[in-house]
Amino acid sequence: MTTGTMALPQVLSPGRLFIGGEWVDAASGRTFAVVNPAKAEKLTEVAEGDAADVDRAVEAARLAFDSGAWPGLPPRKRARILWDMARLLEERKDEVARVETLQNGKPLFESGIDVDMTVETFEYYAGWATKIEGETIPLSVPNQFGYTLREPVGVVGAIVPWNFPLNLASWKVAPALAAGCTVVLKPASETPLTALLLAQIAADAGLPAGALNVVPGGGRTAGEALVKHADVDKIAFTGSTAVGKRIAGLAAETVKRVSLELGGKSANIVFADADLKLAARGAVGGIFYGKGEVCAAGSRLLVESAAHDELVPAVAAGAGKMTVGDPFEKTTRIGAIVSEKQMEAVLGYIETGKREGATVVAGGARVAELEPGYFVQPTVFDGVTPEMTIAREEIFGPVLATLTFDDVDEAIARANDSPYGLAAAVWTRDIKKAHYVASRLKAGTVWINTYNLYDAAMPFGGYKQSGYGRDLGKHALDNYTETKAVWVDLRQ
C-alpha cells in the first residue's frame, strides 16, 4: 500500500472549524484524530467542535441570513456562485477524491464518481436558484387576490454520515443555498475532511461569510447542540434510523422543520424470467458498491425459487471475483470498511448469520493479509429465512442475504416485510410484472432491471422508518422553503 501516500492539503493539516468565513480552533482547544481505515493509521487532527462552537456558527449563519448577505443577493448571483463552486470542485477533483478515499477507505474510482455527482448537484441547484416561484391562487372569496411567496426557511443545520461524506453534504447544502438559506454543516467525525475542502471551495467561489459554516465534532455534542439550537430553523439529517428518531424528538421541542434520510434493508427481487446474467451482475453491484456502506444497498436478494440454482452461484462467483485491497489501486473494487468499530459490527453480523443457520457461499471473514487495515471479504449468505437477524437488520457492510419466493405476491410481501422502505429493485423481462411490482413496493426508489442509479434531478428518500422528506430533484427545495400566503383586498 503505497499509492495513497500524499501530503494532505494545507487546510487539513490540522483541520479547523470554518465559521463566519474564517478558519478557527474549537473554543475548547480540543482536537480529534481522523484515521485512514486502509492502514489503521492517523491521517491528521481536526478541531473538535462542541456546543460553544455550534453557537458561534449558528450566530454567523443567522447574521448572513438576517442581514440579507446571502438570501438578499439577486437569484442570478446566487446561481453564479453555486455554479462556480461546481467548477472549482471539478478543477480540484483529483485532490478531493484522494482525500475522500484516504478518510473513508473507498476505492479511488468511487471517490471520483462521488465528486462528479457533487459537481452535478451544485450545477443542478444553481439552475434552480432563479426558478423558485410562488403561485397565484384562484380564490372563491370575492374581490380578493391571492398569491404565494416561497421564502427560504432560514438557518439550516445539516448533519451527514461518513459513507458519502462530500456527496451527501451537497444533497443538503446545494438546495439549501439555492433557496437562500444559510447552513451549518456537521460532517461525521470519521470523515470531516472533504466537508472542510468544500468550505474552502465555497469561500473561493465568493460565497459570503457565514452562508456555509462547517463544524466537525461528535454527534452527541456538536450534533445535538445544532438540533436543539433555538436559532436553527431546520435540520436536514442523513444517518441511522436510531439517531434520526432521537433527532426528531429533540427537534420537536422548538418545532423545527426536519427531514430525515435514514437506514435501509433494500430488496433486490429477481424473477426467473429475468436476464439472469444481468441480474447477477446487478445483485453484486447492488450490495458491494461502496463496500455495502450504502443506505440503498440491495442487501436482501429475493430470488424466485426456479432461478435460485442458476442465480446464486453466479452471484457468489461475482463476489469472489471482486478485488479487495488498497483503495488507491486501479484494480480494487472493494476498499476498507470505514472504521474498526464498523468492521467489528459487520463481522459480528457475519457470525450471527452463521450461528442462526444461514450458509456462507462467498467470503465470510476479515481479510487477514490486509491487516491492520479494516477489510472484510464480500460475503454472500444463502438459505436465509425472513426471521433471521441478517434478513432484518441493516448491516451496512459487504454482506448479502439471499431468500427465496415462489410467486409475485410472495415477492412483494417479503420485500415489504421490513420496517425500512428506502429502495428496491425488480428484475424481469415481463414489463407488466415489473410495473405492477414497482407500484406495490413500499420504497422511495424502485429500480427496474438496474440498481444504484442516481441523478440530481431524481428525488431520493424513504418510506416508513427510512425517513421522510426527499433529497435531490425539485422536491428537495420544499425542505428549504416556507410558503407564505398573501391576500390583497381589491374592493373599490
Nearest to 105, CA basis, from 453, 343, 321: 343
Nearest to 412, CA basis, from 395, 398, 428: 428
Nearest to 364, CA basis, from 293, 339, 353: 353
Q: Quick count: other Cβ atoms within 10 Å of Cβ 229?
A: 22
- By C-beta, is 78 or 464 nearer to ligand NAD? 464
Question: How far is residue 96's CA from residue 108's CA, in Å, rounded to a whole number?
Answer: 10
What are the residues facing 483 on neighbouring strands?
150
DSSP for 404-431? EESSHHHHHHHHH-SSEESEEEEE-S-H
CB of residue 332 vs ligand NAD: minimum separation in angstroms?
22
Whether residue 180 contacts residue 206, with contact meaning beta carbons closer than 8 Å, is answered with no
Question: How far is residue 248's CA from residue 239's CA, in Å, rounded to a whole number?
Answer: 12
Question: Site for ligand NAD (CB under 6 A): which residue of 105, 107, 154, 239?
Answer: 239
Q: Any contact of residue 262 with ligand NAD (CB under 6 A)?
A: yes
Counting Cα atoms < 13 Å in the Cβ hemisphere of 447 gives: 24
Q: Any contact of residue 219 with ligand NAD (CB under 6 A)?
A: yes
Part in contact with ligand NAD (CB under 6 A); list of ranges 102-110, 181-189, 281-289, 475-483: 181-189
Count the residues of the shown chain that bind ligand NAD, applying the rule CB under 6 A: 31
CB of residue 331 vs ligand NAD: minimum separation in angstroms?
26
Which residue sits closest to ligand NAD, CB atoms considered? 219
CB of residue 5 vs ligand NAD: minimum separation in angstroms?
27
Q: Any contact of residue 261 with ligand NAD (CB under 6 A)?
A: yes
- By C-beta, is 36 or 428 nearer to ligand NAD? 36
- By C-beta, is 239 or 378 nearer to ligand NAD? 239
List alpha helices for 156-215, DSSP H.
Answer: 165-179, 193-204
Alpha carbon of residue 118 to chain centroid: 11
Amino acid identity at 301: L
Give the residue numbers marked as catalytic.
Answer: 261, 295
- By C-beta, is 89 or 168 nearer to ligand NAD? 168
Question: Site for ligand NAD (CB under 6 A): which residue of 227, 303, 322, 362?
Answer: 227
Q: In the 3-class helix/strand/coil scheme, how is 316-385 assigned residue by residue?
A: HHHHHHCCECCCCCCCCCECCCCCHHHHHHHHHHHHHHHHCCCEEEECCCECHHHCCCCCECCEEEECCC
List alpha helices for 129-164, DSSP H.
Answer: none
CB of residue 337 vs ligand NAD: minimum separation in angstroms?
12
Alpha carbon of residue 318 to chain centroid: 26
Amino acid identity at 341: K
- By C-beta, is 126 or 295 nearer to ligand NAD? 295
Q: Any contact of residue 50 with ligand NAD (CB under 6 A)?
A: no
Part in contact with ligand NAD (CB under 6 A); list of ranges 59-67, 87-95, 159-167, 316-324: 159-167
- By C-beta, is 53 or 261 nearer to ligand NAD? 261
CB of residue 444 vs ligand NAD: minimum separation in angstroms?
8
Terminal CA-CA length for the chain: 80
CB of residue 261 vs ligand NAD: minimum separation in angstroms?
3
Q: Any contact of residue 37 with ligand NAD (CB under 6 A)?
A: no
Window 367 to 426, contacts with ligand NAD (CB under 6 A): 394, 396, 422
- By C-beta, is 357 or 419 nearer to ligand NAD? 419
Which residues bind to ligand NAD, rule: CB under 6 A? 159-163, 168, 186, 188-189, 219-220, 223-224, 227, 238-240, 243, 246-247, 261-264, 295, 394, 396, 422, 462, 466-467
